[in-house]
Amino acid sequence: MKKLLGIIMIILFFTSCGKEENFVPDYPVNFSASLTDPAISRLSTPGGAVSFNGHGVAGIIIYRRADNQYVAYDRCSTVNPEQKNAIVLDDPALTATDPISGAKYSLYDGSPAKAPAKTSLKRYAVTIAGNTLYVRN
């Protein structure tokens, strides 16, 4: 009986340790822009956000938080990431939405704000050097 219980526990352990759901793959990101560039002018005040295609999995979103910190996320929705659905900025730019699934994400920290999203957006490092903003992974 103990052997049977042990086998059942081992089976349950291995079946519960599947691959991570909603995994956004790693893609190289090396984006930079001058803080005076009109393309990122919405980042001049807290609460501003901009999005760009051609970086990461489905593009990137850069957001300036109320504490004047910049954060950047991949635009790839964490709901069915294999489909590479790009989230879009909401108005006002406090959240972004996956137009396919309806999932919504907070731009403050990338966390899910509305189902079916369960996983936060993939975050990239943001640094400022002189007058240039860099987004990298």
Domain that holds residue 85: 26-136
Position 19 in a domain: no
What does pLDDT average to over the chain?
88
Position 92 in a domain: yes
Q: Which of 10, 105, 2 is nearest to 49 (CA)?
A: 105
Position 105 in a domain: yes
Position 84 in a domain: yes
Domain count, the chain: 1
Position 11 in a domain: no
- The yes-or-no verdict on residue 134 having pLDDT over 50 is yes
pLDDT-derived band at 93 (thresholds 50, 70, 90) equals: confident
pTM exceeds cut of 0.85: no
pLDDT of amino acid 133: 98
Position 6 in a domain: no
Position 31 in a domain: yes
**For 84-110, what is the mean pLDDT?**
96
Position 10 in a domain: no
End-to-end CA distance of the chain: 51
pLDDT-derived band at 10 (thresholds 50, 70, 90) equals: very low
pLDDT tens digits, 27-40? 999 999 999 999 99
Name all contacts of 59-68 with Cβ < 8 Å and 24+ positions apart. 59/86, 60/29, 60/31, 60/124, 60/135, 61/87, 61/89, 61/96, 61/107, 61/121, 62/126, 62/133, 62/135, 63/93, 63/107, 63/108, 65/108
Cα–Cα dist 94/114, whole Å: 13
Q: In 96-110, which positions are buried (b, 16+ CB within 10 angstroms) versus exposed (e)? A: bbbeebebbbbbbeb
Residue 47 belongs to domain with CATH number = 2.102.10.10
- The yes-or-no verdict on residue 44 having pLDDT over 80 is yes
Contact 122, 133 (CB under 8 A): no
pLDDT tens digits, 105-122? 999 999 999 999 999 999
- The yes-or-no verdict on residue 21 having pLDDT over 90 is no
**For 12-16, what is the mean pLDDT?**
40
